[in-house]
Amino acid sequence: MSIEGQKVIIVGGSSGMGLALAGRLLEEGAWVTIAGRGQEKLATACRHLGDHPKLRTHVVDIGREEEVAALFRECGPVDHIVSTAAEIEGAYQLLSSLELAAEKVVQSKLYGPLLLAKYGASRLPSSGSITYTSGIAAYRPLARGAMVAAVNAALEGLVRALAVELAPIRVNAVSPGWVDTPIWSFVAGDAKQARLDAMAQRLPVGRVGQPEDIADAIRFLIGNGFTTGTTLHVEGGHRLV
């Protein structure tokens, strides 16, 4: 499916996987709005993308219903909605020390996606799509990762339910494995590279993922009109080891 001239909103598009997807779609001639909570990060992303004439930005916290409603009022009709947003700060804790601050991960990966569908579905054509990102944590959880595993699994359940309720609009998820993105600075701190290198040695493909790997997968789901209610695993064989 050609995406030239189509309009795509990417929540979380200011860094990592979302930024890689924005660059790819702009190259294909799409109109892209990258949305996120920080204006400074969005401005930096615009410069990274060459201040492309078909690129727009919007500040939004998808955990706040009124801000999501405003996003779609201001952006108008759209062909595809993508969310790569994830807030994990404070989420990796043992149950005994887990605080409600970790609820931010629920807002970014469950409530937020639900609100994007609630307010965005009416702006989509029947050929449109919504694509979310879950994650390997739902299948290979880490110690201290109960909250992250739970919300990723819940998001995949939401995808199946929305695919039925919103049909013929297509709703899917990509489940990335370990991908070299800025989020690892929060997960591992100074040990980031050592952790990624160790995982690369374990994986059948011999490396961890790059943002472009996930962008390719999301682009497939946007363009394939016969795929809905599906979780596409892009994790280098992580579920096998």
What tens digit of pLDDT does each residue of 36-56 get? Answer: 999 999 999 999 999 999 999
DSSP 107: I
Mind giving me the DSSP string for 32-91? EEEEES-HHHHHHHHHHTT--TTEEEEE--TTSHHHHHHHHHHH-S-SEEEE-----TTT
> For residues 19 and 45, is the Cβ–Cβ distance under 8 A?
yes
Q: 196: exposed, middle or buried (C-beta count within 10 Å: 0-12, 13-18, 19+)?
A: middle
Q: 7-233 — its CATH code? A: 3.40.50.720
For residue 112, pLDDT over 70 is answered with yes
pLDDT at 69: 98
Q: Can you tell me the distance from the alpha carbon of 22 to that of 218, in angstroms, rounded to the nearest whole number?
A: 11
Going by their DSSP bridges, the two strands 31-36 and 55-59 should be labelled as parallel
Q: Can you tell me the distance from the alpha carbon of 59 to that of 143, in angstroms, rounded to the nearest whole number?
A: 34
For residue 100, pLDDT over 70 is answered with no
pTM of the model: 0.94
Question: From its phi and psi, is residue 207 left (phi > 0), alpha (psi between -120 and 50) or beta?
Answer: beta
Amino acid letter for position 34: I
Q: 47: exposed, middle or buried (C-beta count within 10 Å: 0-12, 13-18, 19+)?
A: exposed
For residue 1, pLDDT over 90 is answered with no
For residue 101, pLDDT over 70 is answered with no
The 10s digit of each residue's pLDDT in 125-168 is 999 999 999 999 999 998 888 888 999 999 999 999 999 999 99
pLDDT at 183: 77
Q: Can you tell me the distance from the alpha carbon of 39 to that of 48, in angstroms, rounded to the nearest whole number?
A: 14
The 10s digit of each residue's pLDDT in 178-223 is 999 877 776 677 888 999 999 999 999 999 999 999 999 999 999 9
User: Measured between alpha carbons, how far is residue 135 from residues 11, 53, 83, 92, 132 in Å?
Assistant: 16, 32, 13, 15, 10
Q: Can you tell me the distance from the alpha carbon of 188 to that of 183, in angstroms, rounded to the nearest whole number?
A: 9
Residue-wise burial string across 93-130, b where 16 or more C-beta atoms lie within 10 A, e elsewhere: eeeeebeeebbbbbbbbbbbbbbbbebbbebbeeebbb
How many CB atoms lie under 10 A from the CB of residue 167? 12
Provide the token pair at 14: 């200011």
User: Measured between alpha carbons, how far is residue 134 from residues 33, 44, 70, 77, 159 in Å?
Assistant: 21, 25, 25, 26, 10
